Amino acid sequence: MKKAYDYLIVGSGLFGSTFAYLAKKAGKKCLVIDKRPQLGGNLYCEKIEGINVHKYGAHIFHTSNKEVWNFVNSIVDFNRYTNNPVANYKGELYNLPFNMNTFNRLWGVKTPAEAQAKIDEQKSEAIKALDGHEPQNLEEQAFTLVGKDIFEKLIKEYTEKQWGRKCTELPAFIIRRLPVRFVFDNNYFNDKYQGIPVGGYNKLIESLLNGIETLVSVDFFTSEYKDWMKYAKNLVYTGAIDEYFGYSLGKLDWRTVSFKTRVEDTPNYQGNAIVNYTSHDRPYTRVIEHKHFEMFGQEVYDYPKTIVSEEYSTEFQDGMEPYYPVNDERNNRLAEEYRILARKEENVIFGGRLGEYKYYDMAPIIEQVLKMYKK
């Protein structure tokens, strides 16, 4: 029997959509299905009061890979958004990531040499205590990177809220990805390129999927497409890897976030897209004001209202959206066992953050699909 499609693609997130776009370019016929009522996976934005609201978490595209940047810019234009989050510690405001603005506000230091001397003093005790050993956990790592004041005001309680565990129980590497800079530079990322698609992420997804057959509100496992071989030569699966195998080896754990979103009757609520709340006096980790991702200058005031979302970090339970893989021994081992099973599946490609049980930013997802395309 002739099959209708070259690829049945489960999931219309960035992985599935980019794959479909490139497959179509190579002359292949695809069908993309998604169990959500809309396309785009976690990039999907909902329009409220004329503002694109990042429904599944704030997304900022950033990369140093020129090929990836050229690729996404060939699909849509990107704006000049640069991520400059601010931290609010019990009403005191500090710039992030840790840089000369932060050090000046904390200690009044004005030059890089003064800041370096202050940090050296702050971390000297911790380094002595380690006695030549590598930091064993996030707390030890933070103390040796930036010292006590920054740890206490900007790291400790935020991290506890985000991960639901003490800093002494978390791996050191989590904190290593935050830049520490002795320049007045509030750009959160070190990458060469960053921005938000002009017109929002839905535009990016719509352009990628232009001319491709799609179905929403269709769950692979409860639909006719479970027998995908009847319809397609290959399957691209970007859902959760343990679900694909019927949880036969056990369930993988996830961390999740949830959002409380409201309309504020003011054009400019907090003056920034992201404000982190770094103490326990607020139960949420951060507040997102969505319009600042796409509106600059006067445009902010052209819209009389604004949309804000409080972000809460939540322990995962059945029925919730899986967001972040949990990096502990049990889950790493279990995921690897599932990946071994996955490699044995014929004509099935597992991809994306759920399909591989790996935390991927958007740019590495595109990089990976581009590599597959070249192959």
- Binding to ligand FAD by residue 34, rule CB under 6 A? yes
- Binding to ligand FAD by residue 354, rule CB under 6 A? yes
- Binding to ligand UDP by residue 375, rule CB under 6 A? no
**Is 262 one of the catalytic residues?**
no
CA 210 to chain CA centroid, Å, is 25
**Is 301 one of the catalytic residues?**
no
Which one of residues 175, 196, 212, 349 is an interface residue with ligand UDP (CB under 6 A)? 175
From 41-49, 126-134, 158-166, 312-320, give the range in contact with ligand UDP by CB under 6 A: 158-166
Interface positions, 65-104, toward ligand UDP (CB under 6 A): 87, 96
Residue 160 vs 219, nearer CB to ligand FAD = 219
- Binding to ligand FAD by residue 16, rule CB under 6 A? yes
Query: Which of 255, 323, 338, 357 does the annotation list as catalytic?
Result: 255
Phi, psi (degrees; rounded to nearest 5) at 346 = -85, 140
How far apart are alpha carbons 33 and 26 in whole angstroms? 20
Residue 36 vs 290, nearer CB to ligand FAD = 36
- Binding to ligand FAD by residue 14, rule CB under 6 A? yes
Partner whose binding site includes residue 34, from ligand UDP, ligand FAD, none (CB under 5 to 8 Å by kind): ligand FAD
In single-letter form, the type of residue at position 137 comes to: N
How far apart are alpha carbons 101 and 91 in whole angstroms? 17
Interface positions, 131-160, toward ligand FAD (CB under 6 A): none
For the stretch 18-21, contacts whose Cβ atoms lie closer than 8 Å and that sit 24 or more positions apart, written own/partner, are 18/208, 18/365, 18/366, 18/369, 18/370, 19/236, 19/349, 19/351, 19/369, 19/372, 20/208, 20/209, 20/212, 21/75, 21/208, 21/209, 21/212
Query: Which residue matches tokens 């050090």?
Result: 103
- Binding to ligand FAD by residue 13, rule CB under 6 A? yes
Q: Give the tokens for residue 309.
A: 């979302």
Q: Give the tokens for residue 52.
A: 């694109």
**Is 353 one of the catalytic residues?**
no
Q: Which amino acids are annotated catalytic?
A: 177, 181, 255, 286, 311, 359, 361
